[in-house]
Structure formats: C-alpha cells, structure tokens
Chain A
C-alpha cells in the first residue's frame, strides 16, 4: 500500500530522478573514459547490434594498444536519450554513432561535434548523397559507418504468382495488384501502422514521386510553408485512396513493427507487399531462410507515378549511420586515425557485403561481382539503386529537428486513420513547424 502510494511522488519526480541517475551514470562512465583515460585512450558509443562496427574497433585496438578505444554498446531505444543527457552534462563520448539529419544537427548547432575537414580525411570515397545527411552548412560532421538503408518495395513472389500479379512498375499497376490480391483474400500490403514510421515511408515516397525531391528539401531547410505545397495534399490523397481500396487490410493500425507481425505477414504468405528499409532483408532471411533460398522474396524500387514531377530513380530511407567526433575530445588525432583507417576500410566493406548489406562506398563493382553468396542479386540491386539515384532523402522524422518529429508522426497516423483530410495534413504540419 505504501509502495503504491509512494509511487505517485516517485513518478512525479521520475523525470528529474531519471535525468539525475543517467547523468550520474554518465559521470561514472566518464571517469573511466575521457577523465583518466585522456592519456590512454578514447570512448566510443554505438548500438549493440553493430557487430561489424565492433570488429573495426577491435582491429584498431590491436594496432594501438597505447591509445585504445573503449566501446560501449547500447540498446536502440534508450540510446538517443542517453547520448543527449551525457552530452548535455558535458560527459559525452569521444566518438559517437548517430543517424545524421536533424538530430545530429542539434549537436552541431550547440557546438558539441567537431568538423571533419577535407584535410582530416578523404570523404570522396563515400557515396555523395549519403554524405550529405551528415553535412551542415557545407561542413562534414560525420562519416558513414555501416550499410545503406534505402526503402524498397518487397514482395512475396509466390503470393503474387498465385494471384497472377506482376511486380508493379507504376502506381496504377500497384492499385490493380491491390485489387486482385484483395479479391483473392490476401492482405495486399503489409504495414506496421501502429509504429507510425512505416506509414511515414509511404508519405516520403508518394511526395517524392508526385512533387519531386525539392518539396521536402525546402521543408527540411526550415521553410514550414513547404507543407502547404499542393503535392503534399496529393500524396495524402493517394495514400488515403490506397487505404480506401483496402490495400493495407483491416489490421494494419494495430501492427507494431517491433513485434514482427508485419514482417511475418509477408514471409508467411498472408500479404503480398511490404515497403520497408533494406534491413528487412536480413530479418526475413533469418525468419524464413527457405523463402529467400528458394528465391521467393522479390524486391523493386517504389513504383513511378504517372504525371508526377519526381525523378523515378529518387530514393528515401536512412542513407547510413554515422560516426562523429565530440568537440570536447582530448585526443582528436587518435579519433581521426580510427575513422580514417578502420571505419569502412577494405576488411569492413567485405564484412558488410558478407552480411548482406551494402556499405556507402564508391567503386564496389568489382567486389560485388566477386560475391558468391545467394545475396548477390540483392546486393547488386541495392548498390545500383543508390548509385543511380539523384537524391537520397533521409527519413523525415530524422531529417527534421527533433521537436517536429512527434507532430509529424502523429499527423501521418491520423491521415492514415482518416481522422484528418489530406488538406489538413499540410495545414497541421505547417503550423507545427
């Protein structure tokens, strides 16, 4: 009873205490890191699923026993908060992992990140459209550190073949495929709408195809009136049209991506299509190895929209993850050595390719041709998709300043649920920015 009663005060103070606790934790971590380790090494923070990146740190440490990097790995969910609290308290790591875009922009504008200039390391070997996401005012603040993650349209070849449907090239093909699949009793498109960001991927592509990349470029540059562009309304209309046609089935709104049900719908043959990032390939290969081995998993670029102003080769998604150097680091030279010689070096590129992921490095043709794993076709597709893309738009929720990410996802969801009209989406968003 007392426990329950106390929980009120406890929860009230939760924010303050949580912050204090994390700061203390960061401070403790700090003493082992930059504090005493100034002479002996660096700290680096990354996500715990970055096993290939971890190998690069191990390789560096083997060569530099006197200036070792202490790598701390975190789970996805609390990483962003932890990093922010640590930097806010002046206890940030020397090297850190991020998604680029607006969130990294926050750190740049408060002077927490050091610029990586052309004399520090040669950034020309990275795919230019990928590097752009970590470039602010013409200065580079982070270098790509893992595989490309554009969003592609997956399909289950068996489901499509049973229904007599071809992979769609145009939006009209897609609508026809939706109608056919629906009449066969299959969910046409699997969508984890409960998580909101998978629905955002549809917005990103639909706007890019109808209005062109420049519409969001304007918004991303801070011009909120860009949301009232007619193509934003048009994109919302197209999405609501798909919803009305039953393209996402009856249950999309309760599917949460992390639960894996949306992925399962596709590989168990209960759905025909899914729009998702390249990481889904690895997920499906793990959950349904037979499907991939038998060549029943298909993929295409997002369909073109007839009459749309966008380039049909443009892509959206997460260009890559980035490594940045803290402005407060005591050993910038060592951090640069690591970024220059160990991140995405030859061994790393091979390791990523072997894991089914394409790193954002130019001139991979020879390496791709030499791949012998069943992933070859997939790797070639991703590489070509990115190489020929004129623009690679970062996910909007990452590109915008963090205070706009939540209104964006909420409005995306409400438009999907048809709680707001296509016109209201743009109006609400221009008000929020």
Chain B
C-alpha cells in the first residue's frame, strides 16, 4: 500500500516536474542563447586584449585593474547614479499625478491621455534630435518671444547638460510610468473609497490612506524599471551629446563610456570589463529593490482575493 502510494506520488511529482521543465524550456533556451552565451563572451573578453582587428590576447586581470583604478570609470558611475536618482525623483511624482488624472473617467481626459502617451511612441533618436534642435540656443525655443531665458547653451554648459538630459529622458518615459499608475489606480476597488467616504475621509486622506498604499506594488515595479533602465540608458544621451558624452565628460554615463571604449577607442577588453560591471550592478539593483519591497512574495493586498 505504502509503497504503491509513494510511487504514485513520485510519479505525479515527476510528471509535474517534467511538464514544468518542458514549459520553461523555450524561455530558458532563448535566454541561454541570447542572454547567457553573449554574457559569458563578454566576461571572457574582459580578461583579454582585443582591438577588434588583430588576434585576441590573454591579459589576465590587467583590464580590471586599469578600469577600477581609472577615475574616469568612477566619474561615469557617479553620473549614472545621479541620472538614476534624479530621474526617479523627477519622474515618479509627475507620473503618479498623471496616472491618477488619466484613471478617472471623462472624454477629454482620454484625449489628453492619448496626447501624453505620444512621446513614448517616438524612437529615442527622433526624440534626441528633436530636443537637440529645440534646445539650440540660436535657433531653438530660446528664439521664441518670451522664452528668451532659454536661449542659453543648455546642452553645452557642463553644469547644465546633465539636467537637460535628465529632463528629456523624463519627457520620454513619464508617459510609460503614468500608464502603469493609471492601470494600478483602476484596479483599486471602488468599495474601499465608498467605505472611506462613509467614514468621512477627505480627499487627502483617501489619497494617502487608500490610493498610495494600494499602489505600493505599482510603485515598486515602476521604481525597478526606472532604476535599472537609467543604469543602462544610452541612446538618448548618445544622440543629445553628439556621441561624445560631452561637453567634456559631463554626460558620459557608464554605458556611453563602455561604447566609446569599445567602438571608438577599439579596446574591447576594457569595454567588456565595464559591461560586466554594468550587468552585475543592474542585477544587484533589481534584486535589492524586489527583496526590500517584498515584491517576490506577490501576495495580494485585498482580503479574500
């Protein structure tokens, strides 16, 4: 009896495991092919010297010591952190406000929501070139009467360029995060607000005690995407700075430093070392955000569902 039951249970477990493996296989295979394989290639390359043309030579840890002792790497990392934090501080409140606004019913709100969404539909290069033209001090928006105070080298001043870049990034990505918040707000059961209204809660109370706590996981999702996204953000900064991370090195974030090292200086070994740093920082960041917020538990906050 017992034996039969154990074997029966074993068979079920085995069947469940194989189905699980079979279902995960395509995803795993693709991830291995396009994620793990190139990634290991990059890690291996980081221990070699290669100019992209001649033979690949083994250099041991030389790239790593030179990258880690180079102040340029740390400057780039610091800039990346600045972009990350400032982007979050700028984008989250605006995206939340827009999301709340769009979630409510109303025809003109829907129309505005469509308009707000437009920047996300444009490619980063189009956004970059457009803003580069708009921010041009001689021929851009600064030439509009009344906006003369904008007629300054916003992208050319080493003290302003980074903020101009952060603004353009926000312009492009706020619609996406607003959409997340809009979806989140719409999922909050109306009954919660009705109950609060009966208890006599005001607008502020309802926002702070119902909306925001209910949006907790949306905030976590949006934050993770913003942090990891700005860590690897490249295209828009590349276009806005004319591919140089300038003025000087004022907007040379780590991904841009990686590109310049790899494809302009043709030092693939060092570029791979920087790439590896990026991968592990990104992994660590998303792990920390999800762990710290309890996101992985995926528990619903609504009673009974």
Contacts and interface: CB of A to CB of B under 8 A. Distances in A.
A221 interface: no
Contacts of B137: 250-251, 254
A169 interface: no
B136 A254 contact: yes
B41 A16 contact: yes
A85 B53 CA distance: 7
B265 A402 contact: yes
Contact of A12 (B132, B155, B271, B275): B275
B156 A12 contact: no
B46 to A, nearest CB: 11
A138 B250 CA distance: 42
Interface residues of A, number: 54
B99 interface: no
Interface stretch (B4-12, B107-115, B221-229): B221-229
A52 B136 CA distance: 34
Nearest to A20: B38
A106 B225 contact: no
Interface string A244-278: 00000011111111110100110000100000000
A254 B154 contact: yes
A87 B221 CA distance: 44
A12 B278 contact: yes
A195 B242 contact: yes
A406 B139 contact: no
Interface string A353-391: 000000000000000000000000000000000000000
A413 B228 CA distance: 30
A17 B136 contact: no
B138 A265 contact: yes
Contacts of A7: 229, 232
A203 interface: no
A351 interface: no
B44 to A, nearest CB: 10
B136 A12 contact: no
Contacts of B38: 13, 16-17, 20
B53 A12 contact: no
Given A12-B282, A250-B153, A417-B248, A259 B132 contact: yes
B265 A252 contact: no
B180 A1 contact: yes
Contact of A419 (B52, B158, B267): B158
17 contacts: A5-B225, A9-B31, A9-B35, A13-B39, A13-B42, A194-B242, A194-B244, A251-B137, A251-B152, A253-B156, A254-B136, A256-B132, A259-B133, A403-B265, A403-B267, A405-B265, A417-B248
Interface of A: 1, 4-5, 7-13, 15-17, 20, 77, 81, 84-85, 87-88, 106-107, 109-110, 112, 193-196, 250-259, 261, 264-265, 270, 402-406, 409-410, 413-414, 417, 419
